[in-house]
Amino acid sequence: MTAAQSLDGDFLALADPYRRELLAHCYRMMGSLHDAEDQMQETFIRAWRGYDGYQQQASLRTWLYKIATNTCLTALQSKSKRPLPSGLGAPDSDPTADLVERHEVPWLGPLPNRLIDDDANDPATVVTSRESVRLAFIAALQHLPARQRAVLVLRDVLQWKASEVAAALGTTTTAVNSLLQRARAQLELATPTADSLVEPESPEERELLDRYVAAFEDYDIDAIVELFTKDAVWEMPPFDGWYRGGASIGTLISGNCPAKGPGDMRLVPTAANGQPALGLYMRGEDGVHRPFQLHVLDVTADGVSHVVCFFDVDLFEKFGLSETPPA
């Protein structure tokens, strides 16, 4: 075995256990699974190239996070923020108006739980923290300038000391504290409270999700309306509108959904961003159900408070969902 081959093996054996949490970190920074995967790959390339000079002055995990953060910051210099429709600054939309697609907008994307779940459940690993990858939190991060975003994630998600963040970003502790203060203030304005969300995989959540699936598969608009809280939000990039309240959501669906009756839609459970999600398949004229939307839900004790419907059917493969629903 050559020295280079030995280096390759040593680096990959030591770095690979951090792959999932680094992907989650890059996703928090980038707001897109595709971009996160690109930056994680770039992180591993840079780390591999520099591994023979790694002096172990910091842990390997800390060193990899430093590289990943700066890799993302470099990439963000040439990228726009990734919003959801409700983050564009417009008021909620008329559900009877025409839908407008905005493919030029680099929309926020979902993150499959299956790519970041850590079976080891190591307390030192924050990847399994649901709050740190929730869609609302990632959307709120998009309101922050890139360096503020990096400081807030390193300090409040990863729990790094201000001096560690300063060393990673090549700045001072004073600058880090200033950036963090501004980031927290901005985030407080942009982030909805998660206090009322029901416990994941609890009986309450399962019961409501069962009702959600039944209402859509039966194409029962009245039952769909009853699922939502008073101020529930429905949005569906790449369409730029967003809709508030069960009645408005019901009107939108009844006026635009291609389903004609019961059985036209099939929903298959999955998970995204530490939240319940559902792959929706629509029956075509040939009688075959095919991928149509991915729903990511906020579930509260009072009902569904937020749904983001992603029309990117390429996501189904990322989520481990098949081309057609199970029999």
pLDDT digits (tens, 9 = 90+) for 22-70: 999 999 999 999 999 999 999 999 999 988 778 676 789 999 999 999 9
> Are the C-beta atoms of residues 43 and 64 closer than 8 Å to each other?
yes
- Strand-pair category, 265-272 with 228-235: unpaired
Taking the domains of the chain in order of start, what are their residue ranges? 1-79, 203-318
User: How many C-beta atoms surround the C-beta of residue 130 within 10 A?
Assistant: 15
pLDDT-based confidence at 121, cuts 50/70/90? low
Class of domain 1-79: mainly alpha
Average model confidence (pLDDT) for the chain? 91
279 vs 132, which has greater pLDDT?
A: 279
CA distance 219 to 254: 9
* Residue 150: partners with Cβ closer than 8 Å, 6 or more residues away: 29, 69, 72, 73, 169
| Alpha-carbon distances of 119 from 14, 27, 113, 123, rounded to whole Å | 18, 19, 12, 11
| CA proximity to 128, closest of 23, 268, 16 | 23
CA distance 96 to 327: 35
Say what the pLDDT of residue 4 is.
46
Beta strands in the chain (DSSP E): 228-235, 242-244, 265-272, 275-283, 289-300, 303-310
Q: What is the DSSP letter of 161?
A: -
- Strand-pair category, 242-244 with 265-272: unpaired
| Residue positions counted in the chain | 327
Query: Which CATH code, of 3.10.450.50, 3.40.50.1980, 3.20.20.70, 3.10.129.10, is assigned to 203-318?
Result: 3.10.450.50
pLDDT-based confidence at 171, cuts 50/70/90? very high
- pTM comes to 0.91
